[in-house]
Amino acid sequence: MFISKMALPRRTFLRGVGATLALPLLDAMIPALGAADTRKPAKRLGFIYTPNGATMSAWTPGSDGPLQTLSPTLSPLERFKDQLLVPTGLSQRQAESMGDGNGEHSRGQTVWLSGVHPKRTEGADVQAGITVDQIAAQAIGKDTPLLSLEMALEQNYLVGNCDNGYSCVYWNTISWRTPTTPLPMEVNPRVVFERLFGDGGTPEQRLGQVREDRSILDSVRESVAALQTRLGASDRVRVAEYLDSMREIERRIQIAERQSGESPVALPDRPVGVPEAYDDHAKLMFDLAAVAFQADITRVFTLLLGREQTNRPYPWLGVPEAHHAVSHHQNDPVRLAKAAKINTYHIDLLAQFADKLKSIRDGDGTLLDHAILMQGSGLSNSDQHSHIDLPLVVLGGGAGTVKGGRHLRFAKDTPMNNLHMSILDKVGVPVEKFGDATGRLTLEPLSGV
């Protein structure tokens, strides 16, 4: 570690024309002459939603307790098995009809993080509950530029009635700041990037920057050069790697923008700047979440990989049919296998994101060591529109508060909201009540196991 009398403040920014660039945690931000960073590492949360349930027979591990062999769907997470929890049996009963008739998809997506049965309405008077990400963000995000970051991979401007009397608002987001305030989820990577690193300006000024193919990094070049002369060797390498990551993200965004402008085909469901390929879009959004964690711009994000009832096909996986149609499998082995392929692909995206977080040093560990990531769906068996025994995984070390390597099987009526209360405990934001929670879950291995 580079030791000197100079110590940078943790919240150090490099400023340029139209840009404000936060830095990752550096040795120079540790108090001078300190042998180690004795501060508690920042805890981070990510919630990733996958639509249309799962093929549970391919999802659920074959045995309880210590994870020996992962199920086929979860196999991409094999290299992270020691930081993986697979809770099964958890349910969201608040997504049941309760006299409101059909609308299982809207309710499943909305209740997943809110724990509250949503109001059935086609109008603007939508109502659900404050979601777990926002409860956490109000506490652990108060020292970061952004309380939270909300992203999605499908258009989020649907209006009117989308699902048996439920407003499209319930499909457009999974994050609610208040019971009546759903948060918009951003689909366009350029908008996310500028929200993280831009310095405001009018839409015309931002558009001009895009057209000139200028880089935000170019605008802070002089500040970076000046900073590098003050840093030790390890910090210089860390800053260079961080800037390389940002430049690669920006390059991919610019490619997507050029492709959008050159394409002769009208794509109303894909805003300008969104990559043509779903895979490219997903990985770009995950990379933006990683750099937001790295620079401590936010400590909480949500990502909607697809809204419920999505008809997206996955031809590169050998699934040219619409996802929603495939998920209603009627126990047809071919459809079940195709739905499982989609589930496995979504888990592989999580594994690649975990690779990225594990590669980034953060204090005395890595970003993955200090994060808790939850991925899953508000439906289990989509053919039955079931909200019982939901497909869920929890990944990451939670800054030493979560011990992985286990399949935790709970009774099928155990509220998923118990898990939310436990996660809030792990990030230091305990609550007395959340939805229909009946208590907290024990997320640590049993003694001696």
Q: Could you report the per-residue pLDDT of 394-412, keeping only the tens digit for each?
A: 999 999 999 999 999 999 8
Rounded distance, CA 381 to CA 389, Å? 9
In the numeric block, the tokens 């150090």 are attached to 12
Give the mean pLDDT of 241-263: 78
Question: Where are the domains positioned within the chain?
Answer: 1-39+198-273, 44-187+300-449
Query: Confidence band (pLDDT; 50, 70, 90) for 447?
Result: very low
Long-range contacts: 60-63, Cβ < 8 Å, 24+?
60/86, 60/88, 61/86, 61/88, 61/407, 63/407
Give 44-187+300-449's CATH code, choosing from 3.30.300, 3.40.720, 2.60.40, 1.10.3470: 3.40.720
Give Dmax over CA atoms of the chain in angstroms. 68
Full-model pTM: 0.89
Instruction: Render 117-144 in DSSP notation, one character per residue.
Output: PPP--SSS-------HHHHHHHHHTTTS
pLDDT tops 60 at residue 364: yes
Q: Could you report the per-residue pLDDT of 37-80, keeping only the tens digit for each?
A: 446 789 999 999 999 999 999 999 999 999 989 999 999 999 99
Rounded distance, CA 21 to CA 28, Å? 17
Rounded distance, CA 216 to CA 199, Å? 10
Query: Confidence band (pLDDT; 50, 70, 90) for 163?
Result: confident
Please answer whether residues 28 and 230 qualify as being in contact, where contact means their C-beta atoms are separated by less than 8 angstroms.
Answer: yes
CA dist 206 → 214, 256, 263, 340 (Å):
10, 16, 22, 42
Which amino acid belongs to residue 313? P
